[in-house]
Amino acid sequence: MRFGWLLASLMLTACAQTPLRGTGDLGIVIERANGRVAVVDTTAKSVLGRIDGLGDLSHASVVYGRDGRHAYVFGRDGGLTKVDILEQRIDKRVMQAGNSIGGSISQDGRLVVAQNYTPGGIKVFDAVTLELLAEVPTQSKVVGLVDLPGQKFAYALFDKGEIWVTDLSDPRQPRTEKYPAGLQPYDGLVTPDGRYYMAGLFGEDGIALLDTWRPELGVKKILQHYGKGEEKLPVFKMPHLRGWAVAGNQAYLPAIGRHEVLVVDKGNWQEAGRIAVKSQPVFVMARPDGRQVWVNFAHPDNSWVQVIDTLTGKVIKTLQPGKAILHMEFSPRGEHVWLSARDDHSVHIYDTQTFERVATLPAQSPSGIFFTSRAARMGF
């Protein structure tokens, strides 16, 4: 009795001490070695808490439900975990594949789709219950999965060299269209309006482009022969396309095996220039306003970050923020950028105007950083 009263009063205090709050300035940092994520506050620039027990998080990625409260974490070991970032707890967790690489969420937020290496294919889950609704086997590793308007998803097949678009308007009856793309697509992106899907090719120079408004035209290759037959440098890390960089009328893409960022004109999809950078780019990401593009690099140059001014097309800043910079994420309107420094066990926060470091947070082997502002963006 006495105990029950104590418990009740404790619970009351606990409630009183947790004021209501929104999630618009929250996010997640993956702590890849520990199977743990840190919940962070981008206004206070602090770690609010940690959620454990998420399995192998090397190469993990996150998508948000449209409530900006529930996050779906896709782990390398095939684990799919739904976490509640306000209550900082795991809501549901399923082991959905042997080896997975990421996922996506549907336009209406009701379907979560995982892309898998082993066995190859995509799996469709109910976003509330994580019940498995459908599978599309591919007999190939799946890369570059993105959501499209109309409950569709586009993805590329590494081993088969194809782009597939699956319509999940009826989630239990997926309908898939297939397009030849080119040799070894390694990742994909969709333009912010959800219209163009691009898959970067590893096995040949060029990028496969599908206009999803006019799929009957098929895939067109752009930036073909950008390497001009030159032997490419060894690629020690696959670049990522997912954090697209579309700024104004131009798209910025990492060149494979070259120390260059490629610039493409979005009007005609022709090469509009190249920008020489420090090393082989991994992420090429536009600040939300599109004025700057930030670039990080592959091993062994992964302690560097460069900033391109999109107006002049020049590198305006070279930073060495820490050891092994794996990922970058902008605050919702871009005044700050968060950089994960895996081998410093830190996340560094920089002001994007002054390039001054404004804060450093501790994190164990941090990799991906994902803010809730992704909840409302297509392709994220």
Partner 1 sequence: MRAALVLLSLLFSPLVSASEGAVSASDTIRLVRQDCGSCHGMSLQGGLGTPLTREALAGQSAEALAVIILHGKHGTAMPPWKSLLSATQAQWIAERLLEGFPEEKQP
Q: Where along the sequence are the contacts to ligand HEC (CB under 6 A)?
A: 235-238
**Shortest distance, position 99 Cβ to partner 1, whole Å:** 6
Q: Which residues lie below 8 Å from residue 263, measured CB to CB, with a gap of 6+? A: 250, 251, 252, 253, 271, 272, 273, 274, 275, 313
Within its chain, how far is the Cα of 212 from the centroid? Answer: 21
- Using the rule CB under 8 A, which residue among 21, 175, 225, 237 binds partner 1? 237
**Shortest distance, position 238 Cβ to ligand HEC, whole Å:** 5
Kindly tell me which of 235 and 315 has the beta carbon lying closer to ligand HEC.
235
Q: Do residues 117 and 99 touch, judged by C-beta distance below 8 A? A: yes
- Using the rule CB under 8 A, which residue among 345, 357, 360, 361 binds partner 1? 345
The 10 Å Cβ neighbour count of residue 358 is 12
Whether residue 300 is preceded by a cis peptide bond, meaning omega within 30 degrees of 0, is yes
Q: Is residue 204 near partner 1 by the rule CB under 8 A?
A: no
Which amino acid is located at 279 in the chain?
Answer: S
- Using the rule CB under 8 A, which residue among 76, 82, 152, 160 binds partner 1? 76
Q: Which does 66 bind (CB under 5 to 8 A by kind): partner 1, ligand HEC, none?
A: none
Kindly tell me which of 238 and 361 has the beta carbon lying closer to ligand HEC.
238
Q: Which does 33 bind (CB under 5 to 8 A by kind): ligand HEC, partner 1, none?
A: partner 1
Selected range binding partner 1 among 30-38, 212-220, 245-253, 262-270, rule: CB under 8 A: 30-38
**Shortest distance, position 68 Cβ to partner 1, whole Å:** 29
| Size of residue set near partner 1 by CB under 8 A | 31
Q: Is residue 359 near partner 1 by the rule CB under 8 A?
A: no
Q: Is residue 153 near partner 1 by the rule CB under 8 A?
A: no
The two most distant CA atoms of the chain are separated, in Å, by 81
Decide: helix, strand or coil at residue 221.
strand
Q: Do residues 305 and 319 touch, judged by C-beta distance below 8 A? A: yes
- Using the rule CB under 8 A, which residue among 236, 288, 315, 317 binds partner 1? 236
d(CA 327, CA 122): 25
Binding map of partner 1 across residues 89-108, x = CB under 8 A, - = no contact: ---------xx-x-------
Q: Is residue 33 near partner 1 by the rule CB under 8 A?
A: yes
Kindly tell me which of 263 and 326 has the beta carbon lying closer to partner 1.
326
Q: Do residues 328 and 305 touch, judged by C-beta distance below 8 A? A: yes
d(CA 232, CA 362): 37
Q: Is residue 82 near partner 1 by the rule CB under 8 A?
A: no
Q: Which strands sit side by side in the sheet containing 219-222, from one edge to the other?
A: 185-190, 196-201, 207-211, 219-222
Q: Cα Rg for the chain, rounded, in angstroms?
A: 21
Q: Which strands sit side by side in the sheet containing 142-148, from one edge to the other?
A: 142-148, 152-157, 162-167, 175-180
Closest among 240, 243, 301, 312 to 273, alpha carbons compared: 312
**Shortest distance, position 371 Cβ to partner 1, whole Å:** 23
Q: Which of residues 158-187 bind partner 1 (CB under 8 A)?
A: 158, 184, 186
d(CA 256, CA 239): 7
Kindly tell me which of 28 and 142 has the beta carbon lying closer to partner 1.
142
Q: Which does 355 bind (CB under 5 to 8 A by kind): ligand HEC, partner 1, none?
A: none
Decide: helix, strand or coil at residue 38.
strand
Binding site for partner 1 (CB under 8 A): 32-34, 56, 58-59, 76-77, 98-99, 101, 117-118, 141, 143, 158, 184, 186, 202-203, 234-238, 299-300, 324, 342, 345, 364
